[in-house]
Structure formats: C-alpha cells, structure tokens
Amino acid sequence: MPDIRHTPEAPTRAQVLSAGEEIDAHRHDDHQIVYAGSGVLAVTTDAGTWFAPGTRAIWVPAGTVHAHRAHGDIDLRLVGLPTGDNPLRLDHPAVLTVSPLLRELILAYTRDPEDTGAERRRLRAVLLDQLHASPRQPVQLPSPTDPRLAAICAILHAAPADPRTLAELAAEAHVGERTLSRLFRTELGMTFPQWRTQLRLYHALRMLADGTSVTSVARRCGWSSTSAFIDVFRGAYGHTPGAHNRL
C-alpha cells in the first residue's frame, strides 16, 4: 500500500461515503472500531480484506495500515480508542457481531464527538463493555503471498461463479492439487471450499449493496440455486439477503 498516511489519533466521528468511494491506506497510533450503519464496508490490510454489513463492525488495532472501500452508500461510524483501551485484547483486525444495543451505542457515541460531558463518559463505558462481550466472526478474505495460490485466487475473484474444482484450477496453475490444498490451509487458514464460500459471500455483499437482485446475486456468485444462496447467507449473517438492505 503506497503513500501511507499517518494520523496519530484515530478519529471518532460520523462520515458519509458514496458507493465506490475509498479512503486510502493510512494508520493510527490508536485503536479504532469501524462500523457501517448502511451499505457494506470493506477494510483491506496487507493480510487480507475484512468486510462487514450493518450487523458487523471491524476492529482495527493501533498501527495497522488499512484502507476503506464503500459498497453502496455508507453511513460510516468511527470510534477511536487509546492504546490503553483494548476491550478485545486483540492485536490483529477482527470482525465483531453488532447487537441492536451495540449499534445504538455506536450511533449515539459518534453523534457529537466534541461532547465531553458525564453522560457521554458513561455511554463510553457501556460501549466498551459491549465491545468486550461482542462475539468475533470469521468474515475475512485473507490475501495469499505464494504466486501459485495468488494466481488461483485472482481467477476466482474475477469470476466468483467459476465452477471448476480445485484439481481443475491446479492444472491451470501448473501445480499439484495436494500442494494447492496445503497452501490454502497454511497461507489462508482455511480449506479451498471455505475460502471460496467467503469469496462468494464477499461478492454477494458487494452486489446486494449495489442493488442487485437476490436471484441475480445467487447466479453471479455461483450458488446452485437462490434457496441455496439464502441458506448460506442466513447462516453467515443471521438474516436473509432480501432483508439485508432493510437493516
């Protein structure tokens, strides 16, 4: 990520991003909670891409170089936390479940960042408690470094509906199927089917945020049927893709 901007304090604020708008690579000396009240936000680091709809938030620890991209119009909410406040005890990015209560706390806390009153301090204390209790979610698309694995991932990124098996893709990349399977586990921390599902969910979130119909998303992302897509999506996010943009 070239031209990395350094901002010592991570801002706490509300910000609107238009569909397709990006915030270039930067880093903070503070931790940050990144939440999209609408649309889908993708946060990219050297390790991969974390993506979150309105039922998820992204934890970005201090010093992490990251960039943002909006899929759909984003009501972006940023909560900066000093390094001494790490309710998650994490030193790497993570995706968190946002309960209805946590959502309202984030919205309220970012509404008036200049407020230093006692009520806002109490709000902050409850917010930290809720963050500590928030379950982590495996909503990450890790980035490969091995060129053979990177070539396969690029093929599927360009065409998430590509139905080829790992053996067929391995033949195209001139690498053994067992070697490729091992690379998925060691470099990306998941099996090939798990990674492909995460990839398809990522593209599905992006397409839904852009207003694509559920049936079209299912077809373009490679699910065998719309009902199969709905089942996987509900299992991942707790609601149907049809309800996604109404959250």
**Which string of DSSP letters, residue by residue, matches 9-73?**
SPP-EEEEE-TT-EEEEEEESSEEEEEESSSEEEEEETTEEEEE-TTEEEEE-TT--EEEEEES-
Q: Which two tokens stand for residue 59?
A: 């934890």
CA distances (Å), origin 119, targets 109, 115, 125, 197, 240: 10, 9, 10, 43, 37
Q: Are 109 and 19 in contact, with CB atoms under 8 Å apart? A: no
3-class state of residue 140 by DSSP: strand
Series of mean pLDDT values for 10-residue runs along the chain (247 residues): 70 90 92 88 86 85 92 91 87 87 93 88 92 76 88 93 94 91 92 93 88 94 96 87 69
Q: Please report which residue ranges of 43-176 form alpha helices under DSSP H.
A: 100-109, 118-133, 147-158, 166-172
* The pLDDT of residue 1: 42
Ranges of CATH 2.60.120.810 domains, the chain: 5-140
As beta bridge partners, residue 23 has 68
Name 72's Cβ contacts closer than 8 Å, sequence gap at least 6.
Answer: 19, 38, 39, 40, 208, 209, 210, 211, 245
Ranges of CATH 1.10.10.60 domains, the chain: 144-244
Burial class (CB in 10 A: 0-12, 13-18, 19+), 9: exposed
d(CA 232, CA 109) in angstroms, rounded, equals: 33
Residue 26 neighbours by CB distance under 10 Å: 17
* The pLDDT of residue 50: 84
Q: Architecture of 5-140 per CATH?
A: Sandwich (2.60)
Chain centroid, CA 16 distance in Å = 18
**Residue linked to tokens 């706490």:** 12
* The pLDDT of residue 168: 94
* The pLDDT of residue 61: 92
User: How do 5-7 and 22-28 pair as beta strands?
Assistant: parallel
The CATH number that domain 144-244 falls under is: 1.10.10.60
- Buried residues in 73-107 as b, exposed as e (16+ CB within 10 A): ebbbbbbbbeeeebbbeeeebbbbbbeeebbebbe
